[in-house]
A and B are shown apart, each in its own frame.
Chain A
Amino acid sequence: MGLLSDPVRRRALARLVLRLNAPLCVLSYVAGIAWFLALVFPPLTQRTYMSENAMGSTMVEEQFAGGDRARAFARDFAAHRKKSGALPVAWLERTMRSVGLEVYTQSFSRKLPFPDETHERYMVSGTNVYGILRAPRAASTESLVLTVPCGSDSTNSQAVGLLLALAAHFRGQIYWAKDIVFLVTEHDLLGTEAWLEAYHDVNVTGMQSSPLQGRAGAIQAAVALELSSDVVTSLDVAVEGLNGQLPNLDLLNLFQTFCQKGGLLCTLQGKLQPEDWTSLDGPLQGLQTLLLMVLRQASGRPHGSHGLFLRYRVEALTLRGINSFRQYKYDLVAVGKALEGMFRKLNHLLERLHQSFFLYLLPGLSRFVSIGLYMPAVGFLLLVLGLKALELWMQLHEAGMGLEEPGGAPGPSVPLPPSQGGKHTGPRQGLDGTEAGSPDLPSTAAGLHRPHQLLTGLPAGHHHGAHCCACQASWAPDPLCCPAGADQPGSHAPWQPVPVAGAAGGATVTGRGLAALPGSASPGCAGAPHLRRPALPTAVPGPLPLLAAFLECALLEVRSACPGWDRDSPRTPFCLLLGK
């Protein structure tokens, strides 16, 4: 703790902070912004890599070939949905059962806090349908989830179709070590939240839902799928979740690996990733992606139903199929193969994803910035606040010091030009009872040496203000509550054995009327108020002095901050306000 106990270094530091504060603040702010902008350039941004050992290799051949089946299911689903207007629960149940899953339903309802004017509803109720594929040789302790959120309009039918086709395909495999839950939710986010709350047996959003009949163990990872067309040109991934929470980076890496393996185009925020990071274009686009990601996280809104899984520490992603103008299209088989690969890899997990980063920013799908690298930018921005606070503290101390009588032995932490040192001899002479020193006092700058160390500015200011009010209380015309010698030495209180000269001359005995300030110590202005008529506190017992003191504390801040505050006219409105 050399810095905190070595007076020479403290003085140097204090001087530095006070003199260079504004430039330091500006510099720090600019550094923060510059650092943030520099995040997209190669040394600060790194290529993504798979951290989890269990998900390392991707050597397995995917065998999903149920494209036609998926399309058939999708058409059926769309037709049934149009007919019933809501989720075709019975059809889903039947189909899932025919595919070979254990099927359960869950109904939920929620009274909306604000009525939904577009859909004219005050209450939302729906049904979730989910099927569990039990792992053939495992104990059902862990599970994976593939979920398709179905809104009230007729999107996502192809996703449901693909889900059912995948379920059928997965059912025939023997390598599953975790259960897989195929979940179709109604009213997308609301249904997902209802299911998750019931699954984890909590109730954080006040949803009324029927309890789940079937469970599958702790969920390790989840993928949410949104597909609205038979063919896609690219798969878009969304990572931002509720309150800006992000899934583990490994999940994103997994997705990217399988997209690359299958030759599928993958996009982030709907944009293809720049290949070239050496020239300026790549980083610029990366910067745009990064800033957009920051904005999306800041909004706190989950950008997909995966966002709700993250709250329960389940890593989840949302994959959206985009059908754009591109010529080369991929059909459902390609998407299915990517999903199959992902699920097979997730099947290998021995423990929850924890190796890779939880907090990161993405300039591109294959590049990331970890929190250790982007936090210093925020740190620089916050340093401005810290510096300002420190400066204000030190300034308060100085302002308060100016009115105090000369403190005792020179405190080493006052950053003054040494020429001020001579001034304190003036008030010192005042100790001998002369009043010669007193006129010097108001003009003595804040350079009075005192035992105060630098970082105790506040009490000095307190003393001044409180003391002045005490002055006002008992001595209206006194211009300055300082060792002006206006005390009548004769009225020395009998308990004061201190030499009269000392008391009168400005060695302020700690006779502050308002002793109720917490932490207020001795150095009040001179002219010990105890020598005067008893001021408020002794005359009025009760909580009033406390209250008065607290008010005073609050008001003092304002007073000290007043630019035109003149030491010679302590008769400020605040003192009068306190009405003493």
Chain B
Amino acid sequence: MAAPLVLVLVVAVTVRAALFRSSLAEFISERVEVVSPLSSWKRVVEGLSLLDLGVSPYSGAVFHETPLIIYLFHFLIDYAELVFMITDALTAIALYFAIQDFNKVVFKKQKLLLELDQYAPDVAELIRTPMEMRYIPLKVALFYLLNPYTILSCVAKSTCAINNTLIAFFILTTIKGSAFLSAIFLALATYQSLYPLTLFVPGLLYLLQTRHINPNSAAAVHTCENEEQSLLDLFLGVCHDVCGKPSGNHLPLLLPSQLLGFHPRSLWLYINVFFYTIPLAIKLKEHPIFFMFIQIAVIAIFKSYPTVGDVALYMAFFPVWNHLYRFLRNIFVLTCIIIVCSLLFPVLWHLWIYAGSANSNFFYAITLTFNVGQILLISDYFYAFLRREYYLTHGLYLTAKDGTEAMLVLK
């Protein structure tokens, strides 16, 4: 399947190159939905020029990236567009191979459960076959590369794309089973923005399961966890040391509360991202990759400066769960919400900032609605996933006690 992937990559690179050369590039790089103060390219350039002048890039509270980004772009600043196109391509390739391996694992597990007779007899139509799963990796790569959100992020040169690449490589290495590499990529991703730390839990669960260790057995978990945690800490420490003094006060800088000046409510928002990890871990401990998908979506919703690049990352996973499509209930409403909100973002921004006739409440309301749409999306997928699991174990045709058809209601 290399040829379709290459074709998709070529198309994606062409689209991005065309947009880079057009006059839209500047317009897009200023949109507040695409770049945030934490990921804006202008700030990276600002930091680099401060460094060239011999001043600390962190003075003035303009530059909020990691020193690794400085090192990366110090040498590559002239090829910035190429770098961002390559990062997008790398993300797509990483996701492609990750999902390819994941599909194999899914199929093996399904076969095992079938042979163990864990499934009810009449769920034949819920069983997945390699035939239907054949194009999923390609679709994932396609969804990521040709998603308008991704293209906008790439054209705006938002460093969110680099974060996405690191998370994608983390997923790839986790699925391949290499604890060392996955710890490295997770450390790099966490180093850039604190939120991917929550992906430690699903990654750990997956690694434990691939080593056929029962996640319930505390001792085994503990040793594995220690191993990963130590790798994580080691690498974070290495990053700090390598990058010298500025990194010492850099991690605290990433705390949104301190970016905005400490405000108590922002702490609650900050906690929100981490808060869902434990309940999800309890419920989804058998399905760590789905857990990872939900966690990435939670990060995209609740992080302090969300941009469309974060949304694009979890949207790339939709083809992996396309067998859940029949259980999704709110597709119409969701699609309408997301499309309408995406269209209204620039309108209300213009009304607020340039026309002076709306105010921040309008823009804030639209971001809220967009987040509500995303939350509805995650909850829908979650519901669909659980429902399918229920059907698999309890059978597709459910009857109540008196023989009539039963209705499955989420309580």
Contact = CB atoms under 8 A, between A and B. Distances in A.
Contacts of A104: none
Contacts of A219: none
B86 to A, nearest CB: 23
Contact of B405 (A409, A499, A502): A409
Contacts of B326: 407, 450-452, 456, 459-460, 521-523
Interface in B341-386: 354-357, 376, 383
Given A518-B139, A518-B143, A543 B7 contact: yes
Greatest chain A CB density within 10 A among B7, B319, B332 is at B332
A424 B396 CA distance: 13
B132 A502 contact: no
A453 B143 contact: no
Nearest to B324: A521
A268 to B, nearest CB: 22
Interface stretch (A94-102, A118-126, A504-512): A504-512
B406 A509 contact: no
Contacts of B138: 546
B318 A521 contact: no
B408 interface: yes
A7 interface: yes
Given A7-B409, A408-B397, A453-B327, A510 B128 contact: yes
Contacts of A424: 405
Given A359-B357, A431-B122, A530 B332 contact: no
A449 B405 contact: yes
Contact of A408 (B126, B324, B376): B126
A281 B122 CA distance: 74
A515 B135 contact: yes
B74 interface: no
Interface in A341-397: 352, 354, 358-359, 390, 393
Given A410-B405, A412-B408, A497-B115, A510 B132 contact: yes
A456 B329 contact: yes
Greatest chain A CB density within 10 A among B1, B4, B131, B135 is at B131
Nearest to B332: A455
B51 interface: no
B322 A520 contact: yes
B410 interface: yes
A313 B351 CA distance: 11
A173 interface: no
Given A359-B357, A409-B391, A515-B132, A455 B331 contact: yes
Interface stretch (A34-42, A84-92, A534-542): A534-542
B329 A509 contact: no
Nearest to B115: A497
Interface string A483-511: 00000000001011111001100011111
B410 A522 contact: no
Nearest to B391: A408
A537 B327 CA distance: 26
A393 B334 CA distance: 13
A521 B397 contact: no
A456 B397 contact: no
Contacts of A496: 129
A545 interface: yes
A59 interface: no
A167 to B, nearest CB: 29
A409 B120 CA distance: 13
Given A408-B391, A498-B124, A456 B331 contact: yes
Contact of A546 (B4, B397, B407, B409): B4
A205 interface: no
B105 interface: no
Contacts of A419: none
B382 to A, nearest CB: 12
A458 B325 CA distance: 10
Contacts of B332: 390, 393, 455
Nearest to B1: A541
A455 B407 contact: no
B321 to A, nearest CB: 9
Given A452-B326, A455-B332, A502 B376 contact: no
B114 interface: yes
Interface string B392-411: 00011110000011111110
B130 interface: yes
Nearest to B143: A518
Contacts of A460: 326
B329 A522 contact: no
Contacts of B7: 543
A453 B328 contact: yes
B355 to A, nearest CB: 7
Contacts of A520: 132, 322, 325
Contacts of B134: 515, 537-538
B226 interface: no
A496 B136 CA distance: 19
A506 to B, nearest CB: 9
A410 B124 contact: no
A428 interface: yes
Contacts of A354: 356
A57 interface: no
Given A421-B405, A428-B397, A520-B325, A408 B125 contact: yes
B3 interface: yes
B333 interface: yes
Contacts of B396: 407-409, 451
Nearest to A397: B332
A413 interface: yes
Given A359-B357, A508-B125, A546 B325 contact: no
Nearest to B4: A543
A393 B324 CA distance: 19
Contact of A522 (B122, B126, B407): B126
A564 interface: no
Contacts of B255: none
A410 B407 contact: yes
B133 interface: yes
A502 B129 contact: no
A453 B129 contact: no
A512 to B, nearest CB: 6
B323 interface: yes
A58 to B, nearest CB: 26
Nearest to B380: A4
25 contacts: A4-B333, A6-B409, A313-B355, A313-B356, A359-B357, A408-B391, A408-B398, A409-B396, A451-B327, A455-B332, A455-B333, A456-B326, A456-B331, A460-B326, A498-B124, A502-B122, A507-B122, A507-B125, A509-B125, A511-B132, A520-B132, A521-B323, A522-B125, A542-B3, A546-B138
Given A405-B125, A537-B134, 5 more contacts: A313-B355, A407-B326, A451-B396, A495-B111, A516-B139
Please provide the 4 A-B residue pairs with the shortest distance between their CB atoms, ordered closest to farther. Answer: A408-B396, A521-B325, A453-B329, A507-B124
Interface of A: 1, 4-7, 10, 313, 352, 354, 358-359, 390, 393, 405, 407-410, 412-413, 421, 424, 428, 431, 449-456, 458-460, 493, 495-499, 502-503, 507-513, 515-516, 518-523, 530, 537-538, 541-543, 545-546
